[in-house]
Structure 1
Amino acid sequence: MRTEIQNNLKKTVYVLARDIGSRGYLQTDALNRTIDYITSELRTYGYAVLEQPCEYRGRTYKNIYVEKKGIKDPGEIFVVGAHYDTVTGSPGADDNASAVAGLLELARLLADKPLARTLHFVAFTLEEPPLFRSRKMGSYVYAESLKRAGRDVRGMICLEMIGYFTDTPDSQLFPLPFMRWVYPDKGNFIALVSNLRSRGFLKSVRRGFRKGTDLPAESLTTVFMVPGVDFSDHRSFWKFSYEALMVTDTAFYRNPHYHSGGDVPETLDYERLTEVVMGLKAAIEGVAGE
């Protein structure tokens, strides 16, 4: 199983970061090619693919999503999401092709798995600047639509840069000095980050994650004042008081290629990326109920 997963993850990263390349908000052709690839993959897994328009300065962008209905409590929803755009000029292998690859692979692995609660797998548009932290973010549009519809979202898992790992001492940086005494100095773990409201959800995800893999998983529950804790699409769900967490390799606190032309497929660790997917599969099965 792991070999197949690893091959699939690597394929997606290379398609997005090498074949398509930079997927900035003005690069319409690249964004459309990315949408076509994501849509094709999801349809291959048997899903009915849906689109949600997101408007910005006269252009229409799209969130791509599928819904896997729960068999016992279908009204209770868990969202798994990753953004597919990049900053202009970066191939975006880690940011965020690694997460899109993980999203697609989780959708594939869980496609035929009976689960009690409903899953939404969502590929978000417009996460990167200049839209970041705005109401034009694809994830904000999606979270707002769920809130307006009164949907019972029990938790959101945001995948944000999940493929860069290193065993080099002192390779892991931190936003606050004291954290170096609490967390490993090597960037060889995955991080789970939540706000205080979501701490129970984080504990459930972490517990399930550790059943699926031996890859170290470190967790942080904190407040907005810690730099970086809200640097992705989970922030949009926090804005609507949904419980949400980010799964991340910690981005610029570890990866020297962040938001640069050096963020290429060859820099990723596909074995550990596979373990992230295995852990998340077990975590999702746990919270969504087998």
Structure 2
Amino acid sequence: MARSDELKGTALAFAGVLAFSGSFPATVFAMRGFDPWLVAIGRALLAGIVALVCLRAARVPLLPPRSQWGSYALISLGVVFGFPVFSGLALHLGASTAHSAVVIGLLPAATAAFAVLRAGERPRPLFWVACTAGAVAITVFTVSQGGGGLSLADMLLVAALLSAALGYTEGGRLARSTPGWHVISYALVLSLPVTLPVSVALAAVTPITLTAASVGGFLYVGLVSMFLGFIPWYAGLARGGIARAGQTQLVQPLLTLVWAWLLLGERYGLATVLGALAVLVCVAVTQRSRS
């Protein structure tokens, strides 16, 4: 049963990764009609309203126990505010979707580290070897693409992945005893006192161009990336183990490369493909090393 739970957790986590893999292309589309800050904060407002409606429809409390508010604050800082803001600004500064996707491939390593610190998980040595190999491969890729150094966009991407790792770990820890969709819903609802007024203010002072692409991109990051994708993701982390199931996100760069090619027409060189393939090999090893 333990092995079965790990496999089911991995499958659920992958469903979340599949949803998240379209986030960068969707953000690019959204920013063609909306200010980057409005995209980052407004998506959380949209998801928060949907989460509030879902909680009300399910007839469950609209707020979590007060004793857990600290954990939900960490989730909000990580995935409601941190990741959308930092990644959106990186894309706005010119980081390509493909490059950003490969850099964010470091996220599983960061999530595993936070899982040790916050959730008490102790993966086996082989797990860490494969995880470190993936991190090294992506670091080499980033430095080589940046001419021997890190750009401001790269540093923003690193801040984004650390933010996401914190939010993923804390959410996965709470999802052990609370349904995954409750976890992300509560984080979004508790953020509404910030996302609502800030979004309204930004909408009033920034230019908005409504097109099918910009509206579609905004709806995707608000409904899928910020809400629906977290339902299987948090459930997978809780069932399969945060460190282990979280390694499925190493596949995300490859998926995002496909979306960037199909939807944005981006072209990338051999280094990008090799970097993405390197992390794919690492995820295969981590999934064979039980936690």
TM-score of the superposition, structure 1-length normalised? 0.28
* Bigger strand fraction: 1
- Greater RCO, CA 8 A, separation 6+: 2
Which of these two proteins has the greater Rg computed from alpha carbons?
2
